[in-house]
Amino acid sequence: MLKVAFAPDTIPGQNALILTVAEKRKLGEQGQKLDKKLGGALSRAMESSHFTGAKEQTLTIMAPAKTRLTRLVLVGIGDPAKSNAALFTRVGAAAVAALNGKDAQAVLLVDRFNSLTLAVGEAAAQAALGARLRSYRFDKYRTKMKADQKPALKHLIVACKETSAAKARYAPLDKVADGVYLARDLVSEPANILYPETLAQHAASLAELGVKVDILDEKQMKKLGMGALLGVAQGSVNPPRLVTMQWLGDTAAKDKAPVCFIGKGVTFDTGGISLKPPGGMEAMKHDMAGAAAVIGAIKALAGRKAKANVVGVIGLVENMPSGAAQRPGDVITTASGQTVEIISTDAEGRMVLADALWYAQEKFKPRCLVDLATLTGAIVIALAGEHAGLFSNDDKLCDQLTQAGKSVEETLWRFPLGEAYDKLINCPIADMKNHGGRDAGSITAAQFLQRFVRKGALWAHLDIAGTAWQSKDLPLSVKGATAYGVRLLDRFVADNFEDRIEF
């Protein structure tokens, strides 16, 4: 795992150096000094390439003469007067992605520019976060990796003029990165290793951070009448779990109604008797990404000792076809008392969430509910991996979530809800059916969830089926699990439920 440290902004004598450069090939305070020392080599290198210092652009100069540096990487920040936190997160990420070589140690010098809109300490902290996010890998099952396939970078020193401010600002961000790492690990684990019981154990490990974790087993869920969740689980030899994680960080008011996050945790989704086609089914190990995001967010909040009361509730099941599996046509009774006819056993996420949502409201009387779920293929068709779908009964909650998503570049796009859509899940033989047909598939899924939200409760649903897993590298994550939602939820809490931390 990459280790990050901070240091004053001096030019190092050896190893790799990454230096920030502004648009129009403008060097900052330290950059100008270095260029002079090197007889204008930096300026010449920039002029003889297409490097202009545009955002996230990089240029590598190998073994620059008159130094003992192995390489010098220039990384663009664009117009310093238009920079923000998210940009520097990307700059830090671009920096480590550009290294991609032999260096075990590197210095990332976040240089000063007079017109920089961000304090340089804040910029450095954000760059450090980006470096950590981008350097995540899941290599634990690769036993034959050659040296040149392994990430070389072990230590990154982020250098800037405001070292102590950078350190202080980075401390909570480092905890957020820990939450992201945990969520990515969980999403990446195969389903033979990660099933409801083992996923619950991972959640239980948050107790170390002062989180109160409770795990309900099948028997307890039966008592609570959770026929929806149990119906999905009954086809699998791996028994289900329902986990609650309470972080009561509002020390002045531990009894204040909590914010509640609910996660879909289907550790593998075969579709059940409504079996999915085989091509690409292996991807369904990530059908627990909503639960992983909730675990990761609670880890981040507890890690940085957020001054807010937040509860996570995750429903954990494996959706398998077997002689014991539920059938299309079965009618089940949910914990809310409402009945559902199963049309497709592949519409299982909403069943799990129906009981988890109900339980969360009964147990915690939360001030608002936000659920995250890899719920529908239709959201992938609508938005690809660019945004997650947002569905809610409250405009203000939507604004808060949308704003938080923008800040951390985990963006949301709102979809409508309404009676006309709700009608599509009416059913002649039960209170509702679990599948409203192909049209507006993501919306009818959300309408289904809304039937388990109590009158007056503030609720939002995030359909993360397109954003939880990516088939290509992104600025802040390599191909694979993104941990989408961890940073968004952390930010949502920071901006709306605790005093803003000012530096």
What string of DSSP letters covers 236-268? Answer: -SS--EEEEEEEE--TT-TTSPPEEEEEEEEEE
> What type of residue is 427?
C
Q: Smallest distance, Å, CB 445 to ligand BES?
A: 7
| Of 198-206, 369-377, 382-390, 482-490: span binding ligand BES (CB under 6 A) | 369-377
Q: Smallest distance, Å, CB 352 to Zn ion?
A: 9
Task: Name the H helices within 253-306.
Answer: 289-303
Q: Is 142 a catalytic residue?
A: no
Could you tell me if 134 and 92 are in contact, meaning their C-beta atoms sit under 8 angstroms apart? yes
Task: Determine which residue in the list 215, 380, 427, 430 makes contact with ligand BES, applying CB under 6 A.
Answer: 380
Residue 480 interacting with ligand BES (CB under 6 A): no
- The DSSP bridge pattern shows strands 3-7 and 155-159 to be parallel
Q: Smallest distance, Å, CB 377 to Mn ion?
A: 9
* Sites for Zn ion among residues 306-365 (CB under 5 A): 349
Residue 378 interacting with ligand BES (CB under 6 A): yes
| Of 12-20, 191-199, 269-277, 387-395: span binding Mn ion (CB under 5 A) | 269-277
> What type of residue is 428?
P
Rg from Cα positions in the chain:
24
Residue 341 interacting with ligand BES (CB under 6 A): no
* Sites for Mn ion among residues 333-352 (CB under 5 A): 346, 348
Q: Which two tokens stand for residue 393?
A: 């009964």
Residue 60 interacting with ligand BES (CB under 6 A): no
Q: Smallest distance, Å, CB 358 to Zn ion?
A: 19
Of residues 248 and 388, the one with the C-beta less far from Mn ion: 388
Burial environment of residue 40 by CB neighbours within 10 A (0 to 12, 13 to 18, 19 or more): exposed
Q: Which two tokens stand for residue 119?
A: 């304090």
What string of DSSP letters covers 353-420? Answer: HHHHHHHHHHHH--SEEEEEE---HHHHHHHTTT-EEEEES-HHHHHHHHHHHHHHT--EEE----HH
Q: Could you say which DSSP state residue 474 is in?
A: B
d(CA 373, CA 383): 15
Q: Using the CB atoms, write b or e for 230-263: b if 16+ within 10 Å.
A: bbbbbbbebbbbbbbbbbbbbeeeeeeebbbbbb
Catalytic residue among 137, 276, 363, 451: 276
d(CA 312, CA 339): 26
Task: Determine which residue in the list 35, 103, 189, 269 makes contact with Mn ion, applying CB under 5 A.
Answer: 269
Residue 474 interacting with ligand BES (CB under 6 A): no
Catalytic residue among 25, 241, 264, 350: 350
Contacts with ligand BES by CB under 6 A: the residue count is 15
Q: Smallest distance, Å, CB 373 to ligand BES?
A: 8
Of residues 271 and 385, the one with the C-beta less far from Mn ion: 271
Task: Determine which residue in the list 287, 371, 422, 490 makes contact with ligand BES, applying CB under 6 A.
Answer: 287
Element containing residue 215 per DSSP (H, E) = strand 212-216
Of residues 266 and 397, the one with the C-beta less far from Zn ion: 266
Task: Determine which residue in the list 103, 185, 287, 490 makes contact with Zn ion, applying CB under 5 A.
Answer: 287
- The full 3-state SS of 410-468, as one line of letters, equals CCEEECCCCHHHHHCCCCCCCCEECCCCCCCHHHHHHHHHHCCCCCCCCEEEEECCCCC
Q: Is 487 a catalytic residue?
A: no
Out of Zn ion, Mn ion, ligand BES, none, what residue 378 binds, judged by CB under 5 to 8 A for its kind, is ligand BES
Residue 346 interacting with ligand BES (CB under 6 A): yes
The contact pattern for Zn ion, residues 247-286, with x = CB under 5 A and - = no contact, is -------------------x--x-----------------
Single out the residue of 241, 200, 196 nearest to residue 218, CA to CA: 241
d(CA 500, CA 503): 10
Which residues in this chain contact ligand BES in the complex, by CB under 6 A? Answer: 269, 287, 344, 346-349, 374, 376-378, 380, 435, 441, 465
Which residues in this chain contact Zn ion in the complex, by CB under 5 A? Answer: 266, 269, 287, 349
Which residues in this chain contact Mn ion in the complex, by CB under 5 A? Answer: 269, 346, 348
Q: Which residues are marked as active site?
A: 276, 350
